[in-house]
Amino acid sequence: EVQLVESGGGLVQPGGSLRLSCAASGFTFSSYSMNWVRQAPGKGLEWVSYISSSSSTIYYADSVKGRFTISRDNAKNSLYLQMNSLRDEDTAVYYCARDLIVGGGSGSSSYWGQGTLVTVSS
Amino acid sequence: DIQMTQSPSTLSASVGDRVTITCRASQSISSWLAWYQQKPGKAPKLLIYKASSLESGVPSRFSGSGSGTEFTLTISSLQPDDFATYYCQQYNSYLGTFGQGTKVEIK
């Protein structure tokens, strides 16, 4: 069974940092590209970042570019999101999501974690 | 950046109704569009990928169509489990923009 489990969320002050993790199991993690998607309370979905299976290709939404860093460790079956210079508007549930197909490139996410809440507030 | 506009924002319908949700892209995205269903407190669920391909395990009452800039999600006969919020997402450019969502409510 495919499982994605996010962790690392919590309360952080504006300007602070947080590192989210996503532990993957039930599939060959190194074969799939991954995404981070967030959802502010009561709002819609916002794509945050993409990383290819080998980490060779990485993209960010303009809203987080220069502040967030996506990475992965295929040996540990884990995906990460390092979030720096956090702002109030970064408050959201953060989901990790797996691409639909091996090798990536479908752009659609067929498996999602349960999400981890990040609250940026003083 | 490509913008995605869904309509309507809210839709009131009854069980058994045929429901159609539209998603428009600000520029052509070929068929690189996905549809998701989300229920409160839950992660999104993939319904349709590449505009019209039904994800495994998704009931056949869901269908997608369109290409270029205009896309539709159709539920042929709305069921009680279908009351939820639906999102489109484009991935023509790997910057995977979502639409703002369409909430399907009970009439």
pLDDT digits (tens, 9 = 90+) for A39-74: 999 999 999 999 999 999 999 999 999 999 999 999
Q: What mean pLDDT value characterizes chain A? A: 96
Cβ pairs bridging A and B (under 8 Å): 65
Mean pLDDT of the region A65-86: 98
Q: How far apart are CA A106 and CA A108, in angstroms?
A: 5
Candidates A36, A45, A93, partner chain B, best to mutate (most B CBs within 10 A): A45
Coil, strand or helix: which one is B54?
strand
Mean pLDDT of the region A99-119: 90
Coil, strand or helix: which one is A7?
strand
Instruction: Please indicate if any CB of chain B lies within 8 Å of the CB of A7.
Output: no
Inter-chain contact A47–B36, Cβ cutoff 8 Å? no
Nearest chain B residue (CA) to A35: B96
Coil, strand or helix: which one is B86?
strand
Determine the pLDDT at residue B42. 97
pLDDT at A90 over 90: yes
What is the Cα gyration radius of chain A? 13
The CA angle B23-A42-A63, to the nearest 5 degrees, is 70
pLDDT of chain B, 107 residues: tens digit per residue: 899 999 999 999 999 999 999 999 999 999 999 999 999 999 999 999 999 999 999 999 999 999 999 999 999 999 999 999 999 999 877 788 999 999 999 88
Mean pLDDT of the region A4-33: 97
Contacts of A45 in chain B (CB under 8 A): 36, 38, 44, 87, 89, 98, 101
Q: How far apart are CA B95 and CA A59, in angstroms?
A: 7
Contacts of B97 in chain A (CB under 8 A): 47
Inter-chain contact A50–B87, Cβ cutoff 8 Å? no
Q: DSSP states of A16-84 as a string?
A: --EEEEEEEESS-GGGS-EEEEEE-TTS-EEEEEEE-TTS--EEE-TTTTTTEEEEEETTTTEEEEEE-
